Amino acid sequence: MNQHRITRKAFALSCIAITTALGTAASAQIAALEIKRHDSKPADMTKPVQVFILLGQSNMVGLGKVKGGDGSLEFAVKEKKKYPYLVDDAGAWVERKDVRFVQYMSGKGPMRNEWMTVTGGNLGPEYGIGHPLGNAIDAPVMILKACIGNRSLGWDLLTPGSERYVMDGKVYPGYKEKPDSWPADPAKGKATEPPPWLDKNGKPIDWYAGKQWDDDIGDAKKALADLEKHYPGAKGAEVAGFFFWQGEKDAGNPAHAAKYEENLVRFIKTVRTEFNAPNAKFVLGTMGESVKGSGGNGGKILEAHFAVDGAAGKYPEFKGNVTTIYTNPMAQGGSGNAHYGGKAEVYMDVGEAMGKAMVELLKGGK
């Protein structure tokens, strides 16, 4: 048993080492790509809209500050002269008429439905993602965000096809089951049916494994079903890629952390199936506080993030279509749970890295 554990750990570390070795040159190349200011050339509206769906939890939703002093996007652009492609010569925020930004959240929306420009009080990685994609793609582009904070892959975002399992004396639910865990039957080593899950008033709790998956996927499909509302003048749409930034909540649950890789692999495959997009590319970001070689639940999730990278070779079917971005060097010492102190540069830098990586995948570069 101990030998098995050592073998698994050694394999996981080797995946990280292989991914790092193979990805160093590619990562340097991606980072060096300059994001230029939009040339104002309109999208080729004869082509279908290329849709990129953003999924995850609170940091994908975005808690970077737009306005204010040091730490805000406004300060980074105007005082530090970073991200010059976001503004025109007069210093006003650029509005792109070839990239649409749409946002839904748990059935609410559209909360954002506009041409891409900096607005509102907070930002996520969408600006760093949207600009390199808009520059690289002649067709119209839609950045479609559908997520909410404080959600785990092992419970809220659990995908169809997930089955219940037993770990450390508890039973964890499969898709559409509840509660989130219940004691296993000591005599059988498992439970056949979960007990009633009631609130303090004795009423059934309206939640289940995969409820947030259903909500987020439902929101994205709703937006695509009413395409003219979300991209005026569109002549059809196709899902070209997915972005995923998540893991903090699973790190707080040992069972979820242990099953994270299995759940992540299923998530990638299932989301492609849901949108009939078998060739859609997938880019994910690690948790900024997670350092290569670290242990604990966070280390397990980091290992899972690296394991699915197509360059690692563990999942051959992901070669050339799944890329993992190691965000620790961009986190400025912050953590995902603390939302990186609201530092806009973290969200911009992670977004740029993810956006550039997607461009490379679309070009067949990794």
Amino acid 186: pLDDT: 74
Query: Is the pLDDT assigned to residue 24 strictly greater than 80?
Result: no
pLDDT digits (tens, 9 = 90+) for 284-295: 999 999 999 999
Residue 28 inside a domain? The answer is no
Q: 23 falls in which pLDDT band (50, 70, 90)?
A: very low
Residue 11 in domain: no
pLDDT at 170: 93
Name which residue leads in pLDDT, 199 or 242: 242
Burial of residue 19 (number of CB atoms within 10 Å: 0-12, 13-18, 19+): buried
Whether residues 215 and 203 share a domain: the answer is no
Residues 241 and 173 in one domain: no
> Are 140 and 81 within one domain?
yes
Q: If you average pLDDT over residues 101-125, what whole number do you get?
A: 97
Instruction: Specify if 27 maps to a domain.
Output: no
The enclosing domain of 268 has a CATH number of 3.40.50.1110
Residue 187 lies in a domain: yes
* Residue found by looking up tokens 């649950």 in the block: 253
267 and 214 share one domain: yes
* Same domain for 306 and 190: no
Residue 268 burial (CB < 10 Å; 0-12/13-18/19+)?
buried
Q: How far apart are CA 304 and CA 258, in angstroms?
A: 9
pLDDT tens readout for residues 328-361: 999 999 999 999 999 999 999 999 999 999 999 9
Q: Are 139 and 98 in contact (CB under 8 A)?
A: no
Cβ atoms of residues 268 and 281 within 8 Å: no
Residue 63 belongs to a domain: yes
pLDDT score recorded for residue 251 = 97
Q: Compute the distance between CA of residue 357 and CA of residue 366 in angstroms, rounded to an integer.
A: 8
**Total Cβ atoms within 10 A of residue 200:** 5
Is residue 103 a part of any domain in this protein? Answer: yes
Query: Into how many domains does the chain fold?
Result: 2
Q: In 10 A of CB 286, how many CB atoms?
A: 24
Residue that terminates a domain, selected from 174, 189, 208: 208
In a domain, 14, yes or no: no
**Are residue 197 and residue 338 in the same domain, yes or no?**
no
Query: Which of 169, 168, 200 lies closest to 185, judged by CA?
Result: 169
Which of the four pLDDT bands, split at 50, 70 and 90, describes residue 365? low
Contact 339, 150 (CB under 8 A): no
Q: Is the distance from CB of 231 to CB of 122 less than 8 angstroms?
A: no
Whether 95 and 172 share a structural domain? no
Please tell me whether residues 136 and 222 are part of one structural domain: yes
Question: How far is residue 244 from each of residues 55, 178, 196, 247, 282, measured CA to CA in Å?
Answer: 5, 25, 33, 10, 8
Q: What is the rounded distance in angstroms from the CA atom of residue 214 to the CA atom of residue 11?
A: 34
pLDDT digits (tens, 9 = 90+) for 176-200: 999 999 998 877 667 778 889 999 9
**Token duo for residue 273:** 């199936």
Q: Are residues 286 and 226 in the same domain?
A: yes
What pLDDT is attached to residue 189?
A: 64
Strand 141-146, strand 49-56: pairing: parallel
DSSP summary character for residue 332: T
SS3 320: coil
299 in the same domain as 251: yes
Same domain? For 299 and 184 the reply is: no
Residue with tokens 């959600």: 151
CB 164 within 8 A of CB 154: no
In 3D space, the residue among 59, 2, 54, 11 whose CA is nearest the CA of residue 307 turns out to be 11
- Domain of residue 52 covers 35-158+210-314+328-363
Confidence band of 2 (pLDDT split at 50, 70, 90): very low
CB-based burial label for 254 (10 Å; 0-12, 13-18, 19+): middle
Average pLDDT on 319-335 reads 98
Q: List CB contacts of 328: < 8 A, sequence separation 6 or more.
A: 286, 288, 289, 290, 291, 292
Give the pTM: 0.91
Residue 260 covered by a domain? yes
β-strand partners of 93: 87
Sheet holding 141-146, edge to edge: 108-116, 96-105, 141-146, 49-56, 237-245, 281-285, 322-325
- How large is the angle between the packed helices 126-136 and 344-363, nearest 10 degrees? 30
pLDDT band at 3 (very low <50, low <70, confident <90, very high): very low
Q: Output the pLDDT for position 30.
A: 53
Residues 6+ apart with CB under 8 A from 279: 321
Whether residue 325 contacts residue 357, with contact meaning beta carbons closer than 8 Å, is answered with: yes
Amino acid at residue number 230: H
Residue bearing the bigger pLDDT, 166 or 29: 166
The pLDDT, as a whole number, for residue 22 is: 43
Residues 236 and 344 in one domain: yes
